[in-house]
Amino acid sequence: MPQEDFYSTQTDITAAKIQFYKDYIGTYLIKVLMTYGNCYVADLFCGPGKNGEEKGSPLTLIDEAKKMLESPVLLRKFQNPSINIFFNDIEVSHVTNLKGQLAELPQIPGICIEKPSSKHFRDVLGSMSRLLKYGTPKFFFLDPFTYSDVELEDIALLMQSPHTEVLLFLPAFFAYRFSGCETEPKTKKFLESFTTRGGTGYRNFHDFMDSLTTKVKGTLCLDYVRPIILDAGSKKNVLLFLTKSKQGMALMNDIVWKHTDDGKTFTVTADDGSPSLFGEAELEAGSHEIARFEKLLCAEVKSRKSMTNVDIIDFAIKSGFLPRHADWVIKKHKAKFQVVVTDGEQNRSYISAPNINKARSIIKYKD
């Protein structure tokens, strides 16, 4: 599909993608600005600003930034809070359209929008060498038109920078669809770079995503990598969230669990009738996610003999779950575990979001 046709309307998958971006960036700005007073947000495949009549990621970001910068709570803490924003898209027409839309917006104190550019993604990265050395919190939204436009080495360069998070959109289904096809060199390169097993041997799409997540974690040395599957029936796309922050991962986990039944897959639309490349087994995977985590957590506590409430919370967050899921497991298996409270009320486990960094109890495995 030509790019111009793609942006003439907002598809259901694009709407879902923008919703997750909006939910995360809105809360991210609250947490970061209340701590640092400033941050940097870059949308490096920004598109034309709108998808038909609907707001795309650039205008969504500005809406959320405006709300935060007008917060009386923030203004009491910081006299001049600021958000530096940078937009880029290799298509000149997209940048021209976006500039026109930005020109129509009233000036918002604290929002500093750099002049949008129309450069190749890697040329933009090359110009960011100084920025990436700074400790200013940085958020990069990468929504390339094809999966082959961004390589794992590019992500590694960004994630080496302090206080950096990345939200990457991948039409991974289309990469998987062409797996093993030697006539698709870009696809082959993507699969070899982003997965542990290349393009073959996957039971289903979830297995494919596990391979991709494992490869990204290992290559980038990250504990917190969070895939979100946008399922439109026979077509599946993925948002991949990367962070070094436990709090950032916890926030994204919370957003995903609010929108999904299994903490993994957001159902965009009903199947359009196109034949699926994956088996029916993947459709049953969601109902087993909590049970799978239950087994993983029990095995982890058993192998380590004991874990603090902070250890258990971190294990849940890394696994894509919430503290309440871990607390439920410990309470369910109280015959297996002994909770020793070191700071607080004796009838609590303290496996909860407010205690994400507060060691207040020890959970011991009973031999």
- Nearest-angstrom CA–CA distance, 331 and 336: 10
pLDDT of 192: 85
Residue 237 · residue 170 · CB < 8 Å: yes
- Nearest-angstrom CA–CA distance, 96 and 35: 35
Distance, first Cα to last Cα, the chain: 60
Note the pLDDT tens digit of each residue in 1-55. 445 544 566 788 889 999 999 999 999 999 999 999 999 999 999 999 887 789 9
User: Which H or E element spans position 253?
Assistant: helix 246-259
pTM: predicted TM-score of the whole model, two decimal places: 0.91
Domains in the chain, please, with CATH? 3-286 (3.40.50.150), 290-365 (no CATH)
pLDDT of 104: 93
- Nearest-angstrom CA–CA distance, 214 and 181: 23
DSSP 275: P
- Nearest-angstrom CA–CA distance, 165 and 140: 6
Note the pLDDT tens digit of each residue in 51-95. 778 999 999 999 999 999 999 999 999 999 999 999 999 999 999
Burial of 170 (0-12, 13-18, 19+ CB in 10 A): buried
Confidence label for 182 from pLDDT (cuts 50, 70 and 90):
low
How many CA atoms lie within 13 Å of 347's alpha carbon, on the beta-carbon side? Answer: 0
